[in-house]
Structure 1
């Protein structure tokens, strides 16, 4: 469950409570704090040897939702977020710009990462 592993890493590294794997629990969301949604894109066996794979290429997506009235330093939060993931060998391969969603009045940015997980 790599989405759950990444969720725990973000919670511990950024000291934030609104981090969810797979789906946002809207009953627990505080609209003043950023909300992180972690989902899996792809799990692909790789690095074959002896008729078996030795690692798993994981692609994960993290969407960060902000209230349009947010008072936090978005750049600082996202810089710390990227540093945390890079230190833990998650490599970004696609980062969208910030987008305003008129339906729920939030600002969202989407990050996509590659991660190689060794398989025993």
Structure 2
């Protein structure tokens, strides 16, 4: 399974304050009056070199929260809860962009980048 799909599976059963969680792309028919969570790839890097090879893969994932235009959520509370849950499940929060407003939909959104490091087993 890919890092995006692993993260989707993890969050899909836990995050109950969103109307939908989407890997890679939010479908066009999803309206701005829904709170949506988008999970997509950022980049990966190799590390921990030794024995003429790399021994870890660092996978960076972007999670964007698009808040409903009618949202009454406490943004800080749900974002902190999400980041603590991810951290407790082996992710590191590597960047928080700060809330912005989507010019097309008028929705507030937050972008959080997390990293998951996989240690490769020797064969």
Matched, 1:18 2:27: no
Matched, 1:109 2:105: no
Instruction: Please name the residue that 1:36 is paired with.
Output: 37
For 1:7 and 1:17, how far apart are their aligned partners in 2?
Answer: 14
Matched, 1:100 2:115: no
Structure 1 spans left out of the alignment, 5+ residues: none
Structure 2 spans left out of the alignment, 5+ residues: none
For 1:10 and 1:17, how far apart are their aligned partners in 2?
Answer: 13
Instruction: Spell out structure 1 runs of 4+ moving beyond 4 A.
Output: none
User: C-alpha displacement at 1:13, in angstroms?
Assistant: 2.1
Q: TM-score, normalised by structure 1?
A: 0.86
- State the secondary structure of the residue aligned to 1:67: coil
For 1:86 and 1:67, how far apart are their aligned partners in 2?
Answer: 25
For 2:51 and 2:103, how far apart are their aligned partners in 1?
Answer: 53
User: C-alpha displacement at 1:30, in angstroms?
Assistant: 5.9
* RMSD of equivalent CA atoms: 1.8
Count of paired positions: 119
Instruction: Please name the residue that 2:88 is paired with.
Output: 87
For 2:25 and 2:10, how far apart are their aligned partners in 1?
Answer: 17
